[in-house]
């Protein structure tokens, strides 16, 4: 997970510890960093799967390396929803509508700019079948190729707004404009269908909406991450077996039932809960905290840019007919390089003060 969030990086950012009554959660920084790197892992692994057209007979080693990596990273998107829920409901709830819309702007601006960037990149490379103008229109309603990873933002932003709306109403505010925006998002799918029926045009699909699983992960994440203390060791130890077992179940589903497993699946939920409980309230050593905070702050930018490296660096170098050791070695080399380049790019534009517009 923006990847990824919220925003994956910005909405989950806790307020500085100097503000009264609010602590800086370094464990949440760690969780955001882990989830961000895991999103990159999943997309690198997915590139291996795509290189053999998702068929084992086209390259068994690439198929199994890709499926295993993608299965292990299935918790990343739910974790970003969990961080967002904690941030909005517990860590840094909005104080008024103005604060809520500043948060929305911090997500929508990078989404819009990176969509334009990916459209321009695809146009220059002449890699899309559809005209760029048609893709630009489609991008107003949902993710498009080659910015396929940005689908998350279309689901993430409405959930953040919905939870913030509830939090504001609970405090006695009356955010009418926010409520109207939520109604518009809720009615958008039927409005597009009605427009298509009236005009005779093809119906546009939309990625904007409130998926039940996303809301559940967000609220459940707020519950888990608001625990005052770390889970006792006697309860943590079994999770080191539960998490791999859930990942193995996801791998079975991917290879025997259907690829990709829904985020709402029980196996994904179990793996997500295990990761949250293992990381929640973990103590981060003092000397690591400044660097961890910087990297966590760059998570959204890395999420936004990493697909460029996956497509231009990883995909051409995937061995589709090599042995398992060679293919696994290629994966283990390409993954850290992709993570390093993505974070280096994000940290670079962060130095130039471009974090708010590029993520």
Across the chain, mean pLDDT equals 92
Which pair of structure tokens corresponds to residue 341? 């380049």
Nearest CA to 171 among 112, 97, 86, 103?
Answer: 97
Q: How many CB atoms lie within 10 A of CB 236?
A: 15
Nearest-CA neighbor of 304 among 182, 146, 90, 123?
Answer: 146
State the Cα–Cα distance between residues 281 and 236, nearest whole angstrom. 12
> Rounded to whole angstroms, how far apart are CA atoms 210 and 218?
11
Residue 108 near residue 115, CB atoms below 8 Å: no
Per domain, the residue ranges of the chain are 26-358
**Residue listed under structure tokens 């489609």:** 138
In contact, 89 and 219? CB cutoff 8 Å: yes
**242-264, pLDDT tens digit by residue?**
999 999 999 999 999 999 999 99
Cβ pair 16, 29 in contact under 8 A: no
SS3 of 117-163: HHHHHHHHHCCCCCCHHHHHHHHCCCCCCCCHHHHHHHHHHHHHHHH
Q: Answer whether residue 202 shows pLDDT above 90.
A: no
Q: pLDDT tens, 133-144? A: 899 999 999 999
Q: Determine the pLDDT at residue 105.
A: 95
Q: How far is 88 from 12, CA to CA, in rounded Å?
A: 8
Query: For 201-215, what is the mean pLDDT?
Result: 91
Give the pLDDT confidence of 172-196 residue by residue, as tens digits.
Answer: 999 999 999 999 999 999 999 998 8
- Fill in the DSSP letter of residue 285: P
Question: What is the pLDDT, as a whole number, of residue 22?
Answer: 72
According to the model, what pLDDT value does residue 21 have? 55
Q: What does the pLDDT look like over 11-36, one tens digit per residue?
A: 444 444 444 457 899 999 999 999 99
pLDDT surpasses 90 at 212: yes
For residue 214 the two structure tokens come to: 């996303």
Confidence label for 200 from pLDDT (cuts 50, 70 and 90): confident
- Helices marked H in the chain: 26-51, 60-72, 76-86, 97-125, 132-139, 151-170, 176-199, 212-225, 233-236, 239-256, 266-279, 289-297, 299-309, 324-351, 355-358
Burial label for 258, CB within 10 Å (0-12, 13-18, 19+), is exposed
- Residue 271's region, left for phi above 0, alpha for psi from -120 to 50, else beta, is alpha
Closest CA to 226 of 17, 23, 10: 23
The residue with tokens 């460029």 is 308
- Of 158, 165, 162, 164, residue with least CA distance to 209: 158
């Amino acid at each position: 997970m923006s990847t990824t969030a919220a925003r994956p990086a910005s909405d989950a950012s806790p307020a500085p510890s100097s503000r009264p009554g609010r602590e800086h959660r370094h464990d949440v920084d760690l969780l955001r960093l882990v989830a961000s790197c895991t999103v990159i892992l999943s997309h690198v692994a997915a590139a291996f799967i795509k290189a053999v057209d998702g068929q084992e007979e086209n390259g068994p080693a690439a198929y199994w390396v890709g499926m295993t990596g993608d299965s292990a990273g299935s918790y990343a998107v739910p974790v970003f929803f969990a961080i967002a829920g904690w941030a909005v409901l517990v860590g840094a709830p909005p104080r008024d509508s103005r604060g809520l819309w500043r948060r929305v702007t911090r997500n929508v601006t990078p989404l819009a700019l990176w969509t334009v960037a990916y459209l321009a990149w695809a146009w220059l490379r002449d890699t899309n079948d559809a005209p760029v103008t048609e893709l630009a229109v489609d991008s107003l309603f949902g993710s498009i190729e080659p910015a396929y990873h940005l689908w998350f933002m279309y689901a993430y932003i409405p959930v953040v707004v919905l939870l913030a709306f509830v939090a504001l109403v609970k405090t006695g505010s009356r955010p009418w404009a926010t409520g109207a925006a939520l109604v518009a998002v809720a009615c958008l799918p039927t409005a597009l269908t009605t427009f298509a029926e009236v005009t005779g045009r093809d119906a546009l699909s939309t990625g904007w909406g409130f998926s039940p699983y996303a809301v559940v992960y967000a609220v459940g994440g707020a519950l888990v991450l608001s625990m005052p203390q770390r889970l006792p060791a006697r309860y943590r130890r079994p999770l080191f077996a539960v998490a791999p077992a859930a990942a193995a179940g996801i791998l079975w589903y991917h290879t025997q039932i259907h690829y990709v497993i829904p985020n709402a699946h029980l196996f994904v939920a179990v793996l997500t809960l295990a990761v949250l409980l293992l990381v929640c309230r973990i103590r981060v050593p003092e000397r690591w905290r400044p660097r961890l905070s910087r990297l966590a702050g760059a998570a959204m930018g890395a999420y936004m840019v990493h697909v460029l490296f996956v497509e231009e660096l990883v995909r051409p170098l995937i061995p589709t007919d090599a042995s398992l050791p060679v293919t696994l070695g290629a994966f283990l080399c390409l993954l850290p390089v992709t993570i390093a380049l993505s974070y280096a790019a994000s940290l670079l534009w962060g130095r130039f003060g471009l974090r708010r517009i590029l993520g």
